[in-house]
Amino acid sequence: MGPDPAVATVRLAVRRVLADLPPGAMVLAACSGGADSLALAAALAFEAPRSGRPAGGVTIDHGLQDDSAKRATLVVRTLADLGLDPAGSVAVDVGAEGGPENAARIARYDALDEAARRLNAAAVLLGHTRDDQAETVLMGLARGSGARSLAGMPPTFVRGEVRGEGGVRYHRPLLELDRETTRRACQAMGLEPWDDPHNDDPAYTRVRVRHDALPALENALGPGIPAALARTARMLRDDADALDEFATRAYSELTEREHDALFAQSEHAPAEHPRSQAAEENRPVTDETQGADEDAPGEGQRSVEGEAVVVLGVEGVADLPRAVRTRVLRMAAIEAGSPPGTLAAVHVDEVDRLVTAWRGQRRVDLPGGVRAFRRCGRLLFGPG
């Protein structure tokens, strides 16, 4: 007789991920002690030896509860009993950046990165399920985010990659499975999961989505909402990946095209003047452009232009579909030093107006002290 169907399902998901990893490479399971990560760790302990790979487990002690160290010790013991070696815990200091959930996440991933590098692990497996994915999509929808955010959590990703090397690879084998499956798997294997009290604390957004928003949606629209949201995320991820690829290509072509042309110009080439540009585009000179004339810089403009680190041709950017164009503008801003975490859609939209609705606007100030401005048919991104 074979294993319980839930156990077999979790093991199959892990087996598929292991098949894509280098033979003989160490694999780690990140385990909180909850049902999802515990089922994952047990499946890895079963599958790794059969694929000729060493496997270990690590738990992160966030120090957010009085007995967190004791809990971490119990999880380590369970991991060792499953046959994972090495099995250990890492204590972290959780800061305050971005709220408690985000701060704990930052500390957790930093610790996992360090553990994976120290043990030379080929991958770290995470226990996120389809239900987690649905919650992530709903939270992205509530923020009014774009396709990339609504695409939810990717099944695999790399952190800390520098020029294609040195990154830590993460996999989410259970992203197509629901929580009920992992709970049944733990029960069938005689494992007792730990239920983190934070998972029932309504102070956390994800908890409110889990216990209030999703049940309300299923009440109103019928069952299967988590599966539908996860399916939507998968399709949006495919779309977002394609658009990102198109944008990367376009960005490379546009920057290469402008590089030689920009620096071949005389250092004293005249700046693009709002009045002449309006005439060029057959638009009347409005009060707005007249006002911009007062700010038409001379030497100061040339010095800022000389410091610009990214240059794009306005005409080439304008020819791009909006979904690609805004991605290109975001890439340019980030390349110039604007932090991705604080560069919002509203900032990119204002830069886009320099391309599609230009009426002599002087500049757009972006996070990180970066400024975008339009001169001589070009968009320049540089220090403010």
Q: Is the pLDDT of residue 262 over 80?
A: no
pLDDT the model gives residue 158: 94
Query: Which residue type is seen at 313?
Result: G
Residue 180 and residue 255: Cα distance in Å, rounded?
A: 50
**Taking each helix axis from N to C terminus, what angle separates 5-18 and 35-50, rounded to the nearest 10 degrees?**
60
Residues that constitute the known binding site: 32-37
d(CA 34, CA 260): 57
Q: Above 90 in pLDDT, residue 102?
A: no
Question: Which residues belong to CATH 3.30.465.60 in the chain?
Answer: 265-383
The yes-or-no verdict on residue 384 having pLDDT over 80 is no
d(CA 55, CA 84): 6
b (16+ CB within 10 A) / e for 218-244: eeeeeeebbeebbbbbbebbeebeebe
* Digit-coded pLDDT (tens) for 108-124: 999 999 999 999 999 99
Contact 76, 84 (CB under 8 A): no
| CATH for the 265-383 domain, from 3.20.20.70, 3.30.310.10, 1.10.10.410, 3.30.465.60 | 3.30.465.60
For domain 5-241, the CATH architecture is 3-Layer(aba) Sandwich (3.40)
| Phi, psi torsion values for 311, nearest 5 degrees | -130, 130
| pLDDT at residue 333 tops 90 | yes
**Which has the minimum average pLDDT: 41-55, 153-167, 287-301, 319-333?**
287-301
pLDDT for 175-195, tens place per residue?
999 999 999 999 999 999 998
CA–CA distance, 104 with 110 (Å, rounded to integer): 10
What are the binding residues for ATP? 32-37
Q: 370-383 pLDDT, tens per residue?
A: 999 998 889 999 98
What is the model's pLDDT at position 376?
A: 86
Q: What is the DSSP string of 210-255?
A: IIIIHHHHHHHH-S-HHHHHHHHHHHHHHHHHHHHHHHHHHHHHHH
The dihedral region occupied by 48, where left means phi > 0, alpha psi between -120 and 50, and beta the remainder, is alpha
250 contacts 320 by C-beta, under 8 angstroms: yes
Q: How far apart are CA 353 and CA 343, in angstroms?
A: 16
| The pLDDT of residue 309 | 85
Distance from first CA to last CA of the chain, Å, rounded? 70
Tell me if 372 sits within 8 A of 380, measured CB to CB.
yes
How far, in Å, CA of 70 to CA of 50, rounded? Answer: 32
Q: Which residue has the higher pLDDT, 315 or 286?
A: 315
372 membership: H or E segment, kind and range? strand 370-375
Whether the CB-CB separation of 360 and 291 falls below 8 Å is answered with yes
pLDDT (0 to 100) of residue 59:
97
pLDDT in the model for residue 9: 98
Strands 168-171 and 370-375: unpaired
Specify the pTM: 0.78
Q: What's the average model confidence in pLDDT over 35-50?
A: 97
H-helix or E-strand spanning residue 378: strand 378-383
pLDDT for 260 beyond 80:
no
Q: Where are the alpha helices (DSSP H) in 265-382?
A: 274-280, 287-293, 299-307, 314-318, 322-335, 345-356
Q: 374 pairs with which residues across the strands?
A: 379
Sequence-separated (6 or more) residues with CB below 8 Å from residue 337: 309, 368, 369, 370, 383
Residues of the chain with CATH 3.40.50.620: 5-241
